[in-house]
Chains A and B, each alone.
Chain A
Amino acid sequence: MIVGASLAGLRAAEALRDEGFRGPLTIIGDEPHEPYDRPPLSKQVLTGWVPADHTKLPRTRAVDADWRLGVAATGLDRANKQVLLANGDTVPYDRLLIATGTRARPWFNAAEGALDGVFTLRTCDDAALLQAALKARPGRVLIVGSGFIGSEMASVCCELGLPVTVAERAEAPLVGPLGGVIGEIAAKMQHDAGVDLRTGVSVEALEGDADGHVQRARLSDGTTLDVDVVVASLGSIRNVEWLDSAGLATGFWGVGCDAGCRAFDINGVVTDTIFVAGDIARAPHVLYEYEFLSLEHWDNAVSGAEVAAHNMVSLETTRRPHLPLPSFWSGQFGVNIKGVGVCSFGDEIVFTQGSIEDRRFAAAYGRRGRIVGAVTLDHGKWLPYYAAVIERSAPCPPPPPGYDQPKDMQPLPARFPDPRVPTEIPDVVLTGHDPTSRGAEFISKRR
């Protein structure tokens, strides 16, 4: 059984059939739609070029599955090996793949978030609503948050000729994934495109008019802004709640699993029948000091699904590890941004090829003298080189290129925010004394 009917779920289903699995296959998805592709939603769909319901994922083969779409999984009963559904059904499994992904982090104030004109973007339904709102040519769009998705949406607004303000808590856009040095360049891109970029500020409140439509935003610097559309682009929340009583290693960062995609239980012991793939998976990575990484990248969903599917139907001796070299891309303000590795694992950055002024360059990220990531702006064809040196943990900076050298090739501090990620209070404690009762327990369950 596969819970989650997006990219990872679909590719896992196809891989299971490719592997020769002929048994019954159930796929559960909370959205009513067939699996669709999300990257276009913040780009081609928002511009109006591609309708929101036209991004269905291509199928690589028939999967002959029992699709249960539009009904969410609400619980996992490991003792009886069954999944509980929102409509009251229970569905048994022999092998389970958890691929429930993430959802958009909602506006922190529910009443404000419910105002007309306030949006988030994660699903194709979200995209359809937001696209319609942009098409109505609002007087001003406010985008709160400027990670990749927020920046892409700002870019679309510029393309559509809509006045747009971006409010970012950090010093610049893209600082989370790419650090302050690249952030500065991203900020220039936004300024040049005509974005009203406000950095170092947060949006403290949204105010609506008498009809319940958003009309004003209050910023932490004391200013107010008249707006017609607000998009909260605040990152994502992992869909782990349905696993609350399952006794798995779930939390803020997703479901912990080993490099073979097998889920850990709450004690950190690996399970035999439950696998994890996609945005929700969190696994140790050999290249990154065996830290547990959650990779919300498109290709990670595909490769993780394939490995998970293989391991679901393979004997122990033929299991495969999932050791992806992360890669990601974005398109914004006419620039193609592509990267490999985990840039935010680095502490310094060095420009290695091209021209910063022309916004065509490659840069490498180093940590303690070895290369851990690379990013390119309109220079993506060089990435396999960087991928190869990252895989070898080669020294950083890498040797200089034979041509097209940047003016300054001195390593700089990469300027990632510190702490790099919002952290939560630990929600798990150890209990029991004798070896048979010793175990972990979620705090939230006790309170």
Chain B
Amino acid sequence: MTTAETAWAEAMKFDNRADPYPFFDELRKTPVARVAHDTYVVTGYRELMALAHDPRISSDISRSPLRAQPAAAPEPAAGADHLRAYGRVQSIIMSDPPDHDRARRQVMRHFGPPHSPDVIPKMEPDIQRLCNELLDNAKANGETRLDVVNDYAYPVPVAVICKILGVPLKDEPTFHGWIFDFMAGLDLGPEAATEEGQARAQKGRESTAALNRYMAELIEGYLREPGEGLLSKLVNDDGPDGPMSPKEATANAMLLLVAGHDSTVNTISHCVLMLLRNPESFDLVRRRPELIPRAIEEVQRLQSAVQFFPSRSATADIEIGGTIIPKGAAVHLMYGAANRDPARFPDPNHFEPERRDNEHFGWGSGIHTCMGGPLARLEVNLALETFLRRVENPRLVVDPPPYRQSQVFRGPRHLLVDFDLISD
């Protein structure tokens, strides 16, 4: 194994999920490094910025070597099957222009300005109420310990995205498990090949299929009888791009539901984790809540909720950072790694809520930049502000906390916090 291959394997290993960053630093010695046959990872800031905007890089999974291999192929690439299941019909995140642009326009018409400027701001009272209710409940139960992931970070965004999309919140217990399994099954590390890993992948595939069926039925329902929410509007649209086909809408509905809350959960959890790990910053941000938006960006820089999205590949030989990425190779843009490039961010591993020049890749970059960013920022802001204001003297119980399996959608599985009391 080359040094880069070893560093990559370590970075992807479950044992290193809490802190893969030293291995990314090692990888960055070659900012664009070959880590496997046909797989290149990008950890340099400049190089990532260039490739995220390079029209020779495709996000279309069907063009990637990570796509499903022919049955005869000896060893399917890690995660391949799974991604295919995720993208049976290509969702926005796994498609290229012009289809990508058209689909993104169709969705954004019902989600943001200029056509729907109020959708996100209108959620503010709901988000605030939810945050307060969760803390009220903990208070009423006389608790002094909170699992920030399950008891606080998860319930808020899932309720919000359900309302925006028009997914019945009563079905949450059903799809929660599916999404969890789907995430756990998306493993690009060495554990994917183990028996356990194979089982997780199998379960992930089944759950993805189940989620797909659920979404397809929901959308069929909205076709028969239009209702509230983005999904119904998407398939019944009379806008310039017309309605989205039910199949494509199903694929995108899964994307929007999953991406619409999961990364937000991870970001809220990581915000609490990072502030509790840095007491001076905790005091500072608590004293000056106007710093919260910047603190969130700094957490997103350091702990990018989507560490990379493994559907990209090169459509031509691309020379960059002293490496030639050959045509057809998979290209992983490692946001979380490039965000710690010392050539771009002074003292890159330091958590600095007042960092000014902070143009990080935590929300991606280029045409696939997170479309839910404005919603996520609102949710994380309110959740963090409420937490800081109401939870007295919070302390980490376990550090590092246990992490979830996925390297891509990286976040704590639980985050236990002890506190003195919850104020009003």
List residues of A whose CB falls within 8 A of some B CB.
352-355, 358, 360, 381-385, 388, 399-404
Contacts and interface: CB of A to CB of B under 8 A. Distances in A.
B213 interface: no
A382 B56 contact: no
Nearest to B58: A402
Mostly, the A contact residues are mixed
| A352, A400, A403 pick with most chain B CB within 10 angstroms | A403
Contacts of A385: 50, 53-55
Nearest to B52: A384
A381 B369 contact: yes
A402 B98 contact: no
A354 B102 CA distance: 12
A353 B53 contact: no
Given A402-B57, A403-B55, A384 B98 contact: no
Interface string B64-105: 000000000000000000000000000000001110010000
B105 to A, nearest CB: 10
A51 B56 CA distance: 44
A403 B316 CA distance: 11
Contacts of A388: 49-50, 53
Contacts of B53: 381-385, 388
A401 B55 contact: yes
24 contacts: A352-B55, A355-B98, A358-B98, A360-B98, A360-B101, A381-B53, A381-B366, A381-B367, A381-B369, A382-B53, A382-B55, A382-B367, A383-B53, A384-B49, A384-B53, A384-B366, A385-B53, A385-B55, A388-B50, A402-B55, A402-B58, A403-B55, A403-B315, A404-B98
Nearest to B368: A381
Contacts of A383: 53
Contacts of A399: 56, 316
A403 B50 contact: no
B334 to A, nearest CB: 18
B60 interface: yes
Range, interface on chain B: 20 to 34
Nearest to B63: A402
A353 B366 contact: no
Contacts of B96: 402-404
Interface string B28-65: 00000000000000000000011011111110100100
Contacts of A403: 55, 58, 60, 96-97, 315
Contacts of A384: 49-50, 52-53, 365-366
A401 B314 CA distance: 10
B55 A353 contact: yes
Nearest to A60: B356
B93 to A, nearest CB: 15
A210 B49 CA distance: 62
Nearest to A388: B50
Given A382-B367, A402-B55, A404-B55, 7 more contacts: A382-B55, A383-B53, A384-B49, A384-B52, A384-B365, A388-B49, A402-B63
B366 A404 contact: no
| B55, B56, B58, B366 pick with most chain A CB within 10 angstroms | B55
A403 B101 CA distance: 12
| A360, A400, A402 pick with most chain B CB within 10 angstroms | A402
A200 B63 CA distance: 49
A384 B50 CA distance: 7
Contacts of A404: 55, 96-98, 101
Nearest to A352: B55
A385 B54 CA distance: 6
A44 to B, nearest CB: 12
Interface string B178-213: 000000000000000000000000000000000000
B114 to A, nearest CB: 9
Given A381-B367, A401-B56, A402-B58, A354 B50 contact: no
A399 B319 CA distance: 12
Nearest to A398: B55
B379 to A, nearest CB: 24
A402 B367 contact: no
Contacts of B367: 381-382
A404 B58 CA distance: 11
Nearest to A403: B96
